[in-house]
Amino acid sequence: MKKKKKLYEGKAKIIFATEEKNLVIQHFKDDATAFNNQKKSVIDGKGILNNRISEHILNNLGQIGIKNHLVKRLNMREQLVHHVKIIPIEFIVRNIATGSLTKRLGIEDGSVLERPLIEYCLKNDELGDPIVSREHILTFNWLNIVELDWISKELLRINDFLQGMFRGIGIKLVDFKVEFGKTNENKIILADEISPDTCRLWDSSTEKKLDKDRFRQNLGNLVEAYQEVARRLGILHLESNIRPIKFSKPTAVKLKKNK
């Protein structure tokens, strides 16, 4: 499949046209951003790991009937995906309270939720992706009620599957964000990567963070954490099959006192 002109460049991905109007190439960059683009860095190898992890997860979701945009992985950094019109909502599913939920509502960090909580954010960087209600989504016709209910059910199925998959490899699925899009035939499909960039993943026994919070919170060893997820999923065969990866403690920096 020939790569044609660039259609869109996002924070972590680039979309290229192909000869086929319904198919595009998604390129995973090594760029990491957080806090609405205020914190930026390039982390060698992150794109390759996200490409592999996301391919694995989307293929597995496809096998249980969750229609998604992945056609196939093309190479280390690229996937062939269905061209969709992205619905302007970020769908967040939470199993454990942390991140913006704890800040917004004062819920204790780490509280296990009685049932999965779905939140909706408007995809708008200038406004800082504000949280919106179901009523907003219906009032502004971002989705109709049938579509919204269908997506909500799909989100719970995705969450169930991912929770089980990660539980099996000693990881707690804390929360995740996904987007959906409409195909040319007006069918709604899952149209996003699912990776440690878009999920919060905690080691089940130590609660060590194995996701992008390592970047957001300056914890270091981000690539090692993503490799650990890939290794446990069985898609990377590193020497660490024998030796578990050791996370070095973040080095303490002594600050000079202002005189």
Q: Which residues bind ligand 5GP (CB under 6 A)?
A: 90, 92, 99-101, 129, 175-177, 197-200, 212
Q: Which residue has the tokens 């040319």?
A: 184
Name which of 17 and 113 has its Cβ closer to ligand 5GP.
113
Name which of 69 and 212 has its Cβ closer to ligand 5GP.
212
Name which of 46 and 82 has its Cβ closer to ligand 5GP.
46
Closest approach, Cβ 249 to ligand 5GP, in A, equals: 24
Count of C-beta atoms within a 10 Å radius of residue 208:
16
Closest approach, Cβ 139 to ligand 5GP, in A, equals: 22
Closest approach, Cβ 179 to ligand 5GP, in A, equals: 9
Q: What letter represents residue 242's amino acid?
A: I
Q: Which residue pairs from 5-8 have beta carbons closer than 8 angstroms and sit at least 24 positions apart in sequence?
A: none
Closest approach, Cβ 220 to ligand 5GP, in A, equals: 18
Name which of 127 and 238 has its Cβ closer to ligand 5GP.
127
CA distances from 35 to 6, 8, 206 (A): 26, 21, 26
Q: Are 188 and 180 in contact (CB under 8 A)?
A: yes
Q: What letter represents residue 32's amino acid?
A: A
Closest approach, Cβ 239 to ligand 5GP, in A, equals: 29
Name which of 41 and 255 has its Cβ closer to ligand 5GP.
41
Q: Which residue is nearest to ligand 5GP (CB)?
A: 99
Q: Are 141 and 148 in contact (CB under 8 A)?
A: no
Task: Report the C-alpha gap between 254 and 40 in whole angstroms.
Answer: 24
Name which of 100 and 240 has its Cβ closer to ligand 5GP.
100
Q: Which of 89, 57, 85, 87 is closest to 73 using CA atoms?
A: 57
Residue 228, CB half-sphere, CA atoms under 13 Å: how many?
20
The secondary structure element, H or E, covering residue 157 is helix 145-167
Closest approach, Cβ 41 to ligand 5GP, in A, equals: 14
